[in-house]
Amino acid sequence: MSLSTKYNPSEIEDKWYQHWMEQKFFASKPDPNKEPYTIVIPPPNVTGVLHMGHMLNNTIQDVLIRRARMQGKEACWVPGTDHASIATEAKVVNLLKEKGISKKDITRDEFMKHAWEWKEKYGGIILEQLKKLGASCDWDRERFTMEEDMSAAVIETFVDLYKKGYIYRGIRMVNWDPEGKTALADDEVIFKEVNSKLYHIRYQIEGTEDYLTIATTRPETIMADAAICINPNDTRFDHLKGKRAIIPLINKSIPIVEDDYVDMEFGTGCLKVTPAHDINDYEIGLRHNLEAIDIINDNGTLNEKAQILVGEDRFVARKKIGKLLKEAGNLVKEEDYTSNVGHSERTNAVIEPKLSMQWWVKMEELVKPAYEEVMNDNIQLIPPKFKNTYRHWMENVRDWCISRQLWWGQRIPAYYLPNGEYIVAETAEEALTLAKEKTGDNNLKLEDLRQDEDVLDTWFSSWLWPMSVFDGFKDPDNEDFQYYYPTNDLVTGPDILFFWVARMIIAGFEFKGQKPFNNVYLTGIVRDAQGRKMSKSLGNSPDPLELIKNHGADGVRTGLLLSSAAGNDLLFETKLCEQGWNFGNKIWNAFRLVKGWEVVNAEPSVAAKKAQEWFEARFKQAVAEMDDHFSKFRISDALMTVYKLVWDDFCSWYLEAVKPPYGDPIDRETYELTIGFFEDVLKLLHPFMPFLTEELWHQLGDRDEKDCVIVAQYPEVKAYDNEVLEKAKIAFELISQIRNTRSSKGLSPKEQLKLFIKTSDKSLYKEFASIINKLGNLESMEFTTDKVDNAISFVIKSDEFFIPMEGAIDVEKEKAEIQKELDYTKGFLNSVMKKLDNERFVQNAPEKVIEMERKKQADAEAKIKTLEDSLANLG
RNA sequence: GGGAUUAUAGCUCAGUUGGUUUAGAGCACCUGCCUUACAAGCAGGGGGUCGUAGGUUCGAAUCCUACUAAUCCCA
């Protein structure tokens, strides 16, 4: 045979993906005769490249969708990307910079043209990468959050929420990125440990020659100080109460206030309060009615309100002011200090807390149905431990800042009138009409309206995703939306449970009165072997495409799923992919064996017939087990079930039992049944290992282009013969014991052995005699009523087995082994008897439990007797 | 500081409402085999007082309390 002993995935993967695409197997359209099964992809960032998290997440989605497809459901997996305003804008700005173009020198329209060009050229690489993984998305349905219809939905919902009073403008402290010149959401801020200095600065107490000392990491903000704050319980500062202090360098007088917020242990116990530049200070400011003095420009330089160092960058200013304070004699000391400083996820600039006018969504009311429907399990979170986390967030929900000071995104549909008022409307024309009504000024023209410069947060697009991908806003009655929505399962990471999942649920109920999905499967986070998050800066993330190249997509998928229970982080090692590949190779070689057989018309062997009966039952049992695992979203358990079914049951037991001696042909009946079993196994395996199974499906039989395992009918749960499984278990244990005996005596597996059985019930052994003979490699199998001399013996249940050994038997060693088992069984019996001797147990425990304990007792007693006999026989 | 989650074999995890369990799986490990499908394999084997200390119960890995440790979210 010319087939390689090694399975080579790269030869077949692209071929089959292309074939599936050509046959339109991924495509879905509404079919009223079929049950829909829908997944929308968590849209990856359009600038992104595939990382391990995507691999895990999309593998799970693909497993679910492929299984549903084979089960005859109308399976639809919608792919797409989001426009990632900050990330994309940063990329475009950088590209323009390389071309010598500055964003501020071009118009908004020109910039958007460049951005779209960038998107067309570089965006969406990640979707191409998903194809390598085998993702069976309906690619004809690919969506992008900035395309026209999707944007229209965003604008429509903004106006809708505004009209309902859920959207407002307000000044709030935001995370300001002075480089990107935009506000960032909390999750876009990364906190890093930074070495800095703690400056101890003394302020004169007004009207005295005394000083107080504060400690700060940001001396450049002293000009924005509105007060000095002390803890009211701090007796050290009683003399300061009611006094005022003077800011050095600018000689401004500020009050000294008292607030519990001040940590008496930290620094000097005196806190400078800078409401415009620190979130905690802002809140103290609100409590004490302090003025917020903003001395920093949008680009991070100091403005004229600072009075000194105007125009200097905040970090330059920090150094210079240190020097100035020193010269003025106000710098007491500098000490080294490490602090957690927020950085922009995109530009890496140090975040500046900044007061700024932003658009907000009022969340308190909106959240209510979304909260309820998860708490009552109408929407299920998997694993359920996330329900708690979800509840906690929903109960403490805060308003959502949805404006971003960027151009790439949907521009906020608010139009300012010359008098400073504004109108929210879907179009400028509509706004003009409304403006005329509002002002009574019929001379207003479009040119008089100025649209808000800001765009909406990307999440404000993503939260509509399950509805907008089916045009649920543009055309709510359309067939797709009616058929596919609500979707079935959502697969995503717990890190965006609030930013995305919760908001989708909110949007689903608010805009359509329906949940967006039934189940949310939260995957773990893929970490490296040391448990660290994978990150570019650590360089600990393997290249997914490289992994696929080396281990095959099937190998990587299997490797990822093998040890990733829902919600558990996955400590990734390349070894896992090797294990996945090994599994594929095992199946490949099973195929080589079967394919190599010569088939003749003959009677099946007794062993083969028994093996068939057993494997049929075992297969059905595995189908039932897998079905149960899938129903609970235990994907890795389902995989493990089929892994063992293939490796242990099909390869190690079944194929070994039916395999003819080398060179001999196989009878037709056994051959055909075996092919049938193989196909059944491939079906169970296909959602996990799509490529290998498709290849073997076509190699096993002569099939046309439409007859593919991807659309084969998935095995259904059926009743099975449990008795044959129970009997086989004992027969297999006997075979293991025979092999063990051979192995522990250092005999070759080729050495044939004689077996004597002492039992009161011969039927099981007769039934399985042929298999026991073959797999145990026996010369003979006989029944006996007496002990057999010069033999190794062992006990299964209450039956005793003897294998005569030529030459000396180490009696002491045999005795020791039997004694060990006897001790264990006695201990076990003892624990059973403790229960049965306890009156209260017999009274209180359920009948079934007591019965089980009595059975355990009887079995153990019989076994002990047999073991004791064995021991006695040995002398 | 507030809240949550987790703790079972060397590693990653099962163990479903307490009773088929003096605890299972995969990987890793050890021993023997290049046995004509597969050495990336085959056969066999060892390994855990279920984080610690109490409590409830006839019975606890499972329920309760405290402690310890780790992780996450919020401030």
Shortest-distance nucleotide from A848 CA to C1': B19
> A767: Cβ under 7 Å from strand B?
no
CA A796 to C1' B30, whole Å: 26
Is the pLDDT at A567 greater than 80? The verdict is no
Provide the pLDDT for residue A186.
65
Provide the pLDDT for residue A23.
97
| Sign of the alpha-carbon dihedral angle for A642, A648, A649, A654 | positive
CB A61 within 8 A of CB A135: yes
Torsion, CA A191, CA A193, CA A194, CA A196, rounded to 10: 110
Phi-psi region of A24 (alpha: psi -120 to 50; beta: other; left: phi over 0): left
Provide the pLDDT for residue A288.
86
CA A647 to C1' B9, whole Å: 23
And the tokens for A73? 């459901």
> A624: Cβ under 7 Å from strand B?
no
Cβ count near A158 (within 10 Å): 23
CATH number among 1.10.730.10, 2.60.40.2470, 3.40.50.150, 2.60.40.1250, domain A593-720: 1.10.730.10
CA A633 to C1' B16, whole Å: 13
Band (A1; pLDDT cuts 50, 70, 90): very low
Provide the pLDDT for residue A808.
61
Beta bridge partners of A794: A801
pLDDT tens track for A227-279:
998 888 888 888 888 889 999 999 999 999 988 777 776 778 888 999 888 87
Query: Following DSSP, what letter does each residue of A164-182 receive, concatenated?
Result: TT-EEEEEEEEEEETTTTE
**ipTM confidence score:** 0.93
pLDDT tens track for A267-320:
788 889 998 888 778 878 888 888 888 899 988 899 999 998 899 999 999 999
CA A461 to C1' B30, whole Å: 58
What would the mean pLDDT of A490-494 be, rounded to a whole number?
A: 90
> A562: Cβ under 7 Å from strand B?
yes
Per DSSP, the three-state class of A273 is: strand
> A579: Cβ under 7 Å from strand B?
yes
What would the mean pLDDT of A568-587 be, rounded to a whole number?
A: 89
And the tokens for A299? 């680009």
Per DSSP, the three-state class of A411 is: strand
Distance CA A134, CA A17 (A): 7
> A661: Cβ under 7 Å from strand B?
no
CA A723 to C1' B9, whole Å: 32
Please give the C-alpha separations between residue A740 and each of A265, A710, A743, in angstroms, as whole numbers.
69, 42, 5
> A56: Cβ under 7 Å from strand B?
no
- Listed residue (A169, A194, A162) closest to A434, CA to CA: A162
Shortest-distance nucleotide from A843 CA to C1': B58
Structure pTM? 0.88
Helix/strand/coil (H/E/C) assignment for every residue in A216-260: ECCHHHHHHCCEEEECCCCHHHHHHCCCEEEECCCCEEEEEEECC
And the tokens for A389? 């986390």
CB A752 within 8 A of CB A728: no
Task: Strand B proximity: list residues 62-81 of A with CB under 7 Å.
Answer: none
Provide the pLDDT for residue A231.
83
Provide the pLDDT for residue A565.
72
Band (A193; pLDDT cuts 50, 70, 90): low
Distance CA A735, CA A781 (A): 12
And the tokens for A575? 């070894």
Is the pLDDT at A2 greater than 60? The verdict is no
What would the mean pLDDT of A568-595 be, rounded to a whole number?
A: 91
> A187: Cβ under 7 Å from strand B?
yes
What would the mean pLDDT of A596-616 be, rounded to a whole number?
A: 93
Provide the pLDDT for residue A435.
94
Identical fold, A182-353 and A593-720: no
> A563: Cβ under 7 Å from strand B?
yes
Shortest-distance nucleotide from A396 CA to C1': B74
Is the pLDDT at A842 greater than 60? The verdict is yes
CA A706 to C1' B39, whole Å: 39
What would the mean pLDDT of A766-788 be, rounded to a whole number?
A: 92
Is the pLDDT at A192 greater than 80? The verdict is no
**In chain A, where the domains are located:** 182-353, 593-720, 748-873
> What CATH class has A182-353?
alpha beta
Higher pLDDT, A826 or A705: A705
> A651: Cβ under 7 Å from strand B?
yes
Cis status of the peptide bond prior to A383, with omega within 30 of 0? yes
Instruction: Say if residue A815 carries a ligand binding annotation.
Output: no
> A593: Cβ under 7 Å from strand B?
yes
pLDDT tens track for A444-458:
999 999 999 999 999
Per DSSP, the three-state class of A518 is: strand
* Strand B nucleotides where any atom sits below 7 Å of a protein CB: 3-6, 11-14, 19-22, 25-28, 31-33, 35-45, 58-59, 72-75
Provide the pLDDT for residue A135.
97
Is the pLDDT at A215 greater than 50? The verdict is yes
Provide the pLDDT for residue A238.
87
